[in-house]
Structure 1
Amino acid sequence: MMEETRMPPEAAIFGTANGVFFMAIFGTLWAYTGIMGLQWPGGTQTALLIIALLIGIALCTTGFLLLRSGRKFSGTSAGSKSGKKQRNAFNLIFAAEGIAIAIAIFVCNATQITQLIPIIVALIVGVHFFPLASLFGVRVYHLTGGLICAIALVAWIFIPERISIGGYEANAYMTVVGLGSALVLWLTSLQIVRIGRGIVQNAEAR
């Protein structure tokens, strides 16, 4: 998962594949949030959800292909000491993100500002990419986190809570933040695929 790494190819490819899965799955979940915020007729929403699901499946497929490529190389596995430390750090970051989201949702419900939940959750998700960028050495995560935070802030500051889209009143916070975050995560997934393929090509050239 690292753009410049001394990790064995097998471990590095394993990391990139996991990054692809993470971005694909959570991108699809954000797309679900955005599509539900549109509040369009059931048939239209179902079609959009199917498209989002297909995009997620396609990206996950590329992750599986990267995993298969990694099996061609010998060397230290992803279970090395450095790999274990990296996974432990990731688990701590992920757990902190989950706890922060749970607290934010609780506070929003308690203070009756539930309309801000998508924005606050997006800000938490965006911020958590900054330590991940340092942990995995993936510089693009800085851009990913920055864009998600920017989308959330723009929606909060400049966009009213409810807007009309296609003749239907949409929850703008859910729609803008959800679809915007989905697009950022999917594009990040594609970039990680590119990084993974670069690792495979470099390993094959040795």
Structure 2
Amino acid sequence: MRSITQKDIQKPINGLFFMIINTAIWTFISEYYLENKDLRIVGMLLGLVIACFLYFYFKLAKAQKKLPETLIEKTAEEKSREKWFLIIFGLEGFGILVVKNILVNTNHNELFIPFFALIVGLHFFPLARVFKRTFDYYIATWTCLLAILGFYLITQKTVNPYLANVIVSLGCAVSTICYGIRMIFEARTILWRTNNSNSY
């Protein structure tokens, strides 16, 4: 059985790091549109989740340092995946900037958060294919459905645009939290295999 190296646990650690950032972003967005009507309770609750994620991130990073470094170079497939990740991530950022500019110039900035969620959701579909992760399809579908809900609530004037944006942002925070939890369990499973293999 091949011994576990630092490289094996790097992906879930990186994934958790991204989920910390994304959860923080959706937390700030939701609190902005809540306008302190929740007495910052939502922000504090999500802040606790982010704090827990940070705790596990540093704990996992510490555990990673105890693992041996890999001497195996990246395969062509791994290099290709990294390249596509950067391309997809770059297109996502570019798309958000373009949409924001269009909405501001057409006086429809109230639709930015649903568009933001839609672009984020869509970027998970190619990532799911590149990294062969079925879970990404679930997150992508959930986030896109939230975006569609946001469009409907705002365009049909079912609720105040601010409330619609809160619903979308909190829903997206739920998806990043679920993803972060998955990354923690994935990393802990790898470490568990390491501890078990060392016991024999």
Q: Shared fold by TM > 0.5?
A: yes
193 and 117 in structure 1: CA distance in 2 versus 1, 3 angstrom threshold? same
35 and 64 in structure 1: CA distance in 2 versus 1, 3 angstrom threshold? same
Partners of 2:141 and 2:47 lie apart in 1 by: 25
- How many residues are matched? 194
Match of 2:23 among 10, 22, 27: 27
The 5 Å alignment of 1:175-186 reads 175-186=166-177
Question: Deviation per CA, 1:31-75, whole angstroms, max 9, x where unpaired?
Answer: 22122212234x813x43233233212112212222222223224
Structure 2 stretches of 5 or more lacking a match? none
Q: 1:103 offset after TM fit, Å?
A: 0.4
Q: 1:76 offset after TM fit, Å?
A: 1.9
Give percent identity, aligned residues only. Answer: 23
Structure 1 stretches of 5 or more lacking a match? 1-5, 164-168
23 and 74 in structure 1: CA distance in 2 versus 1, 3 angstrom threshold? same
Structure 1 partner of 2:188: 197
Partners of 2:18 and 2:115 lie apart in 1 by: 20
**Alignment check: 8 A CA contact 2:110 2:161 kept:** no
Structure 1 partner of 2:119: 124
Partners of 1:161 and 1:12 lie apart in 2 by: 49
199 and 154 in structure 1: CA distance in 2 versus 1, 3 angstrom threshold? same
Partners of 1:95 and 1:78 lie apart in 2 by: 28
Structure 1 partner of 2:107: 112
The one-letter amino acid of 1:37's match is Y
Partners of 2:58 and 2:72 lie apart in 1 by: 16
Structure 2 partner of 1:3: none
Q: Scaled by the length of structure 1, what TM-score is found? A: 0.81
51 and 11 in structure 1: CA distance in 2 versus 1, 3 angstrom threshold? same
Question: Deviation per CA, 1:138-188, whole angstroms, max 9, x where unpaired?
Answer: 32111111111111112222565573xxxxx67123201111100111111
Ranges of 4+ aligned residues in structure 1 off by more than 6 Å: none
Structure 2 partner of 1:51: 45
